[in-house]
């Protein structure tokens, strides 16, 4: 997957949860729309967010 497919604008990690036992609400939307996305960390540096078991295994 190339940067054109992941988008140039970094996302922030969704942390808001509707219940304490479920993943953050925005994570499913990111998984569906941008399974590999640039991530802007809270301290300002950038990384990558990879969602979905198969994609994470491929990256590792």
Q: What is the pLDDT of residues 4-38, one digit of tens each?
A: 555 678 988 888 999 999 989 889 899 999 999 99
The answer to whether 26 touches 15, Cβ cutoff 8 Å, is: no
Kindly provide the b/e burial profile for residues 10-32, where b requires at least 16 CB atoms within 10 angstroms of the residue's own CB.
ebeeeeeeeeeeeeeeebeebbe
Pairwise pLDDT comparison (8 vs 58), residue with the higher score: 58
The pTM of the full predicted model, rounded to 2 decimals, is 0.72
pLDDT of residue 40: 93
pLDDT of residue 4: 53
């Amino acid at each position: 997957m190339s940067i054109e497919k992941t988008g140039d604008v970094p996302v922030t990690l969704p942390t808001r949860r509707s219940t304490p036992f479920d993943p953050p609400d925005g994570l499913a939307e990111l998984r569906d729309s941008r399974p590999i996305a640039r991530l802007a960390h809270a301290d300002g540096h950038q990384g990558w967010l990879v969602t979905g078991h198969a994609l994470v295994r491929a990256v590792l």
